[in-house]
Each structure stands twice: as structure tokens, then as C-alpha cells.
Amino acid sequence: MARVTKPLTNTEIEKAKAKQKPYSLADGGGLFLLVSSTGAKTWQFNYYRPFTNKRTKFSLGAFPDVSLAQARAKREEFRALLAQGVDPQEEAKKEEQAASGEMLNSFLRVAERWKAKKAQEIEPLTLKKNWRRLEVYAFPALGCLPVAEVLPSVVIKSLEPLSQQGKGDTLKRTLRLINEILNYAVNYGLLPFNPCANVNAVFNFGKSEHNPTIRPEELPAFLYQLKNSKLTLYTRCLIKFQLLTMVRPVEASSAEWSEIDLLKSLWSIPAEKMKTRKPHIVPLSTQARDVLAIMWQFTAAAKYVFQSARTTNKPMNSQTVNKALVDLGYKGKLTAHGLRSIGSTYLNEYEPMISPDVIEACLSHGIKDQVRRAYNRSDYLEQRRIVMQIWGDYVEACERNFT
């Protein structure tokens, strides 16, 4: 007759004392409590491994961290696996590897790999702003989740506060970044598809917060205010240079003398400074050259055209123009980035003979239509020389004719 093991009780377990040598207390069904010579108590499951039929043991954790009831539940789980020919230890390894893989492919970890890729494509300052947006609005709720668990319901719940606060532009930008990361995960085989692709349909983003700008007809009054302001000469020149060249704020403020060929009237901006991560050549109008001639008197020996007055070998801050525009009374009406739009609006509305593609090239914008982009490899340099001079002449006329 088979020997029947009497199940353990909590009282027996608690009263079990240390002996000179380790010993075991059986609960039945392969479950034992090992009591060490120091008095430490550990649950073990003894069984024969499938296929090899070799006896082995598997630790289930220490008592009282793992209670008697929990140890018994684990034993039954393992016995069920054995009945199916599955080794509990091998199954545990698979679960551990899966958990490790989930951690490796958490939303935060995938986002970090996406960030490394984007660093080769966009302006460092833009990437920094995007990453900060994710840190504030996405990672607190989504960062630790396996990327496969970043589902619409979770994303909607995490971004709902932005919607309630009326921060439509921030909400839209954050959601776009989340979708970029999920699309990255799809492309690298971590997801079969992006489940959040249509989440934007849930939200009301409100009125878009574009960079404010002014109409070309308002430019004469602006230039008059600029000329008669108490802004420093460097700041006034930076604003005018950015207006004339139609470049982005950081591209203007970081202009180097080594990038400028005054004989050819060209400014060659290297790829690493461009938002598009492609080199951009700016034809210089006579008016832009006049601004450079003024700055040459003060910064010819420096690296940067618009050398910082406070820090050696550093350019003026790209936010200098934004602050200056506020000081001029244009808060909410015009931003540094909005200066580009004045030129674009004028050329598109007042110069109908100029091709839109040439204007977009002046702004270093790519052609959005994929078919046209595939067949259009021109940088329109000679046409842009003419366009930039037309724009420079208009700016000069605005400055001269204000009454």
C-alpha cells in the first residue's frame, strides 16, 4: 500500500527549527519545505523531467515570502504542465525570456532606438524639443509598457488631460510622435501594425497654433519700428538678415563667415545645421550682402557672423529674435519663424510668374508630391538668385517708402 504523506500546516512550518544538517518537510505531490542549518526555509518542487526521466528540484521561493497556499498553487500548476509533457523549469525560462524581451521592447526602449535614428535626420534642437514633449506627456503613462500594449484606449486616457486643458497643438504633436514610434516598431518587426494610427479622430485639436506672422503690406511699418528701436545693432541685423534670406531662426543665428562666399554671393549651410538634414545654398541679395557688410566691421575675426556679445566662440541665441519681437510690441502677432512666411506670402501672391517649386526651394522645403519629387532633382539655384533679389528689392522698398 502506497504511503500517504500528511499535508503540512502553517503551525508545523513556523515551529520548524534549524538542525545541525538541512532537512525537508514533505507536503505531498512533490512539494517540500527545505529547512537549512541556519533556519532559512525554502519551498522546493521535486519531479522527474520529461523525456530524460531524471529527478530534479525547482525552487519556488522562501517562506514566508511564499505562503503555504501559494506554494501548493504553484505545485498544481507544475503538475499540470508535467501532465502535458512540459518541463516547468523550461517553461519558466521561456517566461523569463519573454519578460526580458518585453522590457527590451518597452515603449521607452523602442523610443530610444527611434530617437537614435531621428538624430541622423532632423535638427538637434528639434529632436530635443520632441523628446522633452515625450518625457512630459507620453513616457509617464506609456514608457514602461511593452510596445505591443500601447493600445488606443491607453493612449487616449494618457492624452485626455491635454485635450481637457485645450492644448490642442501640444496634443497633436505628442500624438504624432507616439505614432512615429509605433510606425518605427512596425517597420522593425516589433508590431504587425500600428493600432493607434487613427486615434487622432477621437480628439478635437481646436485651432492650430501656427507661428504668427504679418502680411507683406504690414512690413513697412514693422521695418520702421525695427530701424527706430532701441534694440542692439547685432539684433537688428540678425532680424533683417533672417527676413532677407528666409531661413529658419537657428540657421540664421548660427551663420559662420566660413560658409559665406561674398564673391559668388552664396551662403552654403551644411547639412548638420539644417532641419531637413540636407545642405542648403542661399543666394544672397544685395540687401543681404549689405547686412553682412555691417556685421563684417564687428565680427570679421570671429567664427560666427552674429557673434554672441557675452560668450566667446558662440553665436547669438536663436531665441534672441523672438524676444526682440516681443519688445517691439509684436507678441502674438509675429515670431522669428513667422518672418519666413512674410517672404513666402509675398512671392506666392504678388509674383505669379514665379514657380511655387522655386519658392519652396528658397524655403528649403521638399516637394511633398512623391511623383513630382522623384522627377524633380533641381535645386533651382539660378532661379532662386532672381527670386531672392526680387524679395530683397521689396524689403528695401518697404523700408524706404514708409511714411
* Selected catalytic residue, list 248, 273, 280, 384: 248
Helix or strand (DSSP H, E) at 175: helix 168-187
- Residue 248 known to be catalytic: yes
Among 49, 133, 236, 275, the active-site one is 275
Q: Establish whether 304 is a catalytic residue.
A: no
Q: Which of 118, 273, 280, 340 is catalytic?
A: 340
CA distance 60 to 130: 45
Long-range contacts of 88-92 (CB under 8 A, 24+ apart): 88/45, 88/47, 88/58, 89/49, 89/56, 89/58, 92/58
Which long-range CB contacts under 8 A does 363-372 form with residues at least 24 apart?
363/246, 364/247, 364/248, 364/274, 364/275, 364/276, 364/278, 364/280, 366/276
DSSP 10-49: HHHHHH----SS-EEEEEETTEEEEE-TTS-EEEEEEEEP
What DSSP character marks residue 53? -
- 210 is known as an active-site residue: no
The active-site residue, picked from 3, 21, 375, 377, is 375
Adjacent-strand bridge partners of 33: 25, 43
Q: Which of 252, 260, 256 is nearest to 236 (CA)?
A: 252
Amino acid in the structure at residue 195 = P
Spatial contact of 104 and 188, defined as CB atoms under 8 Å apart:
no
- State yes or no: is 280 an active-site residue: no
Catalytic-residue membership of 340:
yes
Q: Which three cell numbers stand for residue 101?
A: 524581451
Task: Look at residues 384, 396, 380 and name the one whose alpha carbon lies nearest to residue 351.
Answer: 384
B/e letters for 16-37, b = 16+ CB within 10 Å, e = fewer, are: beeeeeeeeeebebbbbbbbee
365 is catalytic: yes
Q: Which residues are annotated as catalytic? A: 248, 275, 337, 340, 365, 375
